[in-house]
Amino acid sequence: MGLLNTLRVAFFGVILTSIIGVFVGIARLSNNWLVTKLAGVYIEIFRNTPLLVQIFIWFFAVFLPMPRIQEALQIGPVYFSNRGTAIPWYETHSNTLLWVTLVIIGVISSIITFKILIKKEVETGVKKQPTLVAISIFIITCIVGFMITKTGPVAISTPSVEGRGFVGGYTLTPEFSAILIGLVIYTSTFIAEIVRAGIMGVPKGQVEASKALGFKNSTSLRLIIFPQAIRIIIPPLTSQYLNLIKNSSLAVAVGYQDIVSIGGTVMNQTGRMVEGIAIMIAVYLIFSLVTSLFMNFFNKKYQLVER
């Protein structure tokens, strides 16, 4: 259980912090004064506040003071209480496996078609609309799946309050929410600065050339600037991912049952301190090595190919 809880925080933390970090980093370079200043304030406040303090604030000042479950605050299908946040969640059914197979086929077909059309577009100079065609193939695959199964890929379970607990949906505990939000917000500030530095590291001639060709700022960023900046961004980004994984051990401070918390309990009950600490070290070492291997593979893919 502790291993899965640590993996859950690390997995969702890496995804969310990447998304927020990229958007905030781009916002720092916006031509809009208000957007730039808001992004700057966000970074300066959360980057210069200790992570443990932020986790404590989210846990003790935000989640624990929420209403009791009998008086849970409901916003649409979502419930907020001091027992946790209940959100709609999916449930598999008999046709889910068929849907997964069709989705995989649709994705593979879309990718192959996209690459073929891109190649023909480069060779002939004639627009083939590869993105539109690839999306259309995926949508058609989903329509075929719906016609065959007459159902969606999953069923949606909405939560409800019954007695002193939630029924249906998925409940995010206050401990999990506090550690996840704290890690995501704190780490995203560093990623935002890495993204900003990576974009600014692209030669100005590339930006000027894209403007001379009539590209919009968004198109220039997506097709010209960011693909070059990613080569600068990936190495320090890997370090931030590793920091997030290791910082997840602070979850023990709010009672979240991660590998450190479970390991501490086991060591207290059995007295096997060396074995317990060795297991915790091995778990974080494996997580870090797997993350590094994946990011190194990603880095090699985007490196410039030298002749």
Question: Would you say residue 188 has pLDDT above 70?
Answer: yes
Examine residue 124 and state whether it is found in any structural domain, yes or no: no
Are 159 and 77 in contact by the 8 Å Cβ rule? The answer is: yes
Determine the Cα–Cα distance for residues 97 and 149; give it in Å rounded to an integer.
11
Which whole-number Å values give the CA distances from 46 to 40, 43, 186, 283, in the listed order?
Answer: 10, 6, 6, 28
Is there a domain that residue 307 lies in? no
35 within some domain: yes
Residue 304 identity: L
Nearest Cα residue to 137 out of 115, 108, 97, 100: 108
Beta bridge partner(s), residue 81: 84
- The 10 Å Cβ neighbour count of residue 216 is 10
**What is the predicted pLDDT for the residue at 17?**
95
Which residue segment(s) compose the domain that 251 sits in? 2-70+172-302
Whichever domain contains 37, its CATH number is 1.10.3720.10
Of 75-79, 188-192, 194-198, least confident by mean pLDDT is 75-79
Would you say residue 212 lies in a domain?
A: yes
Residue with tokens 């957007």: 35
Enter the pTM of the model.
0.84
Query: How many domains does the chain divide into?
Result: 1
Is residue 254 domain-resident? yes
Is 240 within a domain?
yes
Name which residue leads in pLDDT, 24 or 30.
24
Q: What is the pLDDT of residues 265-274, one digit of tens each?
A: 888 888 888 8
Across the chain, mean pLDDT equals 87
**Whose CA is closest to 177, among 243, 244, 255?**
255
Is 162 inside a domain boundary? Answer: no
Domain assignment present for 148: no
Angle at 225 between CA 207 and CA 222, to 5 degrees: 120
Rounded to whole angstroms, the Cα distance separating 254 from 89 reads: 25
Q: Which of 166, 185, 181 is nearest to 85 (CA)?
A: 166
